[in-house]
Chain A
Amino acid sequence: MESLEMTTADFGISDEDRNGVTVLNLRGEIDVSTAPELRQRLTALAEDHQPLVVANLTQVTFVDSTALGVLVSAVKQFRSDGGDLRLVVTQPHITKVLEVTGLNSVFGVFASTAEAVAG
């Protein structure tokens, strides 16, 4: 079990402030077991009325439908309050998942954190 914990422990979230914009740097695999942690973090930011949050997925190695569901739920929450949630994606397989689900037209998707912050 120890090796499994090492594998799943790969997921993590760290925050940084870029010119007043909160950037969530995500890493590892976001699936049904780790998505709740992401949902909790995004919900807290939405309830804090953050106008713009950037989710940096460049170090994310896997996303499934539960991860996407959390992001969709969050972007609705931010936009209902006049804010937005933007994504930074460079991994081709994550870009592909966004494309096949049509979410590339729902989110603002950027190639770098700087671009996402600048909009």
Chain B
Amino acid sequence: MSAVGGSNNETGPDLAEHIELSMPALPELLVLARMTAATVASRADFGYDQVEDLRLAIDELCLRLVGAGKEGRLHIDYALRAEFVEIVVTYHSEDNVTRGYVPESAADDLGGGGVVNELSGAILDALVDEHGIDDVSIPPRAWLKVRRRGPDVD
């Protein structure tokens, strides 16, 4: 896998264990992304609190790309690396194949999308070591990285 958002400093062959999930970009399917994140976190020997943190973080990451009622798919790559877990979410649709497109946030459909986005940013800032979104790339992508610290070491 190539470097993501300039955050991957590893060089040489990719020795990470990858788990990939591809699904329609629908809010009701985010539970799948969370369940997979919990499995990945367990494989990374995360403790209970860290598993919960990663479940929430992947949900927040996907929220940036999921649009209620919009067509498209999310592709999620969970990479277990030696030092950290890295998750990259890309949004694929017929539109963004040709011109780059991020759907309106599903949170906007609930009203007060600005507040939700602010809360989402605060959550990600607190729970992961790095995160970002590139909504002008084709396809649009969001990513996060969490260092593997061992069980529940804060």
Q: Is the interface of A mostly helix, strand, loop or mixed?
A: helix
Chain A residues closer than 8 Å to B34, beta-carbon distance: 62
* A65 on the B face (CB < 8 A): yes
A31, A93, A96: which contacts B59 (Cβ < 8 A)?
Answer: A31
Chain A residues closer than 8 Å to B19, beta-carbon distance: none
Closest A residue, CB atoms, query B66: A32
State which of A33-41, A52-60, A82-90 sits at the interface with chain B.
A33-41
Q: Chain A: how many interface residues by the 8 Å CB criterion?
A: 27
For the complex, give the distance between the alpha carbons of A100 and B56 in Å: 13
Chain A residues closer than 8 Å to B107, beta-carbon distance: 32, 65-66, 69
> Is A66 touching B31 in the complex (CB atoms < 8 A)?
no
> Is A70 touching B110 in the complex (CB atoms < 8 A)?
yes
For the complex, give the distance between the alpha carbons of A31 and B120 in Å: 12
Chain A residues near B (Cβ < 8 Å): 4, 7-8, 29, 31-33, 35-36, 39, 62, 64-66, 68-70, 72-73, 92-93, 96-97, 100-103
